[in-house]
Amino acid sequence: MSIAEGVQIVSFGILAVMMLVSALGVVLLPNIVHSAFLLAGTFLSISGLYILLNADFVAAAQILIYVGAVNVLILFAIMLVNKQENFSELPNRWLRQGSTALVCIGLFALLGTMVLVTPWSIETNLPIAGLESTVIMLGEHFFSDYLLPFELASVLLLMAMVGAIILARRDLIPEAEENQETVATSLTLPERPRELTSAATGDDN
């Protein structure tokens, strides 16, 4: 993907401002729901920067994984919990804020030093690489050189999904006979109390 130099500079400026403003909003806003929505804006701005770097696959993965999965999961967790708690002043709060400020200043100095030390000039006589789509190259590597790790990762995700479904639906396990003694081992998981299930069935009748 080739974009004019002026468009690249303007797009980079807009995306950089959006990313910085949304990141500051995530940290400074008192409402956690607003911070979660601004976190999605930060992820989208980063994906736009990846597009400017001709990393289209990384930009798509940024949107699908971070915005579509991680950020949505954070929003669901916040809205499902919905716990109202009064703000209470913590003891020695200035010490926590001071240490946080020192860590942030140290990270900013480290990243600024890396930006200043890194040689960003590109020789004009070298062939320009990376103008083709990276999705085709990654797809070829996934289904040729790295086929076995790719399939193993999908099997692990499937096992985790099946385990989560089994743990979430343990209330549908049929009740054991009353005269049958159950032996608790380290491999058995605690089930729901039978009194609640029998009371629920009695109310329905």
User: pLDDT grade, residue 110 (50/70/90)?
Assistant: very high
**Model pLDDT, residue 28:** 86
Q: Which residue has the higher pLDDT, 86 or 150?
A: 150
User: pLDDT grade, residue 19 (50/70/90)?
Assistant: very high
User: pLDDT grade, residue 16 (50/70/90)?
Assistant: very high
pTM (2 d.p.): 0.57
Percent of the chain scoring above 90 in pLDDT: 18
Q: Can you give the residue range of the structural domain that contains 141?
A: 132-170
CATH number of the domain encompassing residue 35: 1.20.120.1200
Q: Report yes or no on 196 lying in a domain.
A: no
Q: Enumerate residues 6+ apart whose C-beta is below 8 A from 182.
A: 176
76 shares its domain with 1:
yes
CB neighbour class for 21 (10 Å; exposed up to 12, middle 13-18, buried from 19): middle
**Model pLDDT, residue 171:** 55
Q: Which residue has the higher pLDDT, 179 or 73?
A: 73
What average pLDDT does this structure show over 98-109?
A: 91
Q: Report yes or no on 100 lying in a domain.
A: no
Domain count, the chain: 2
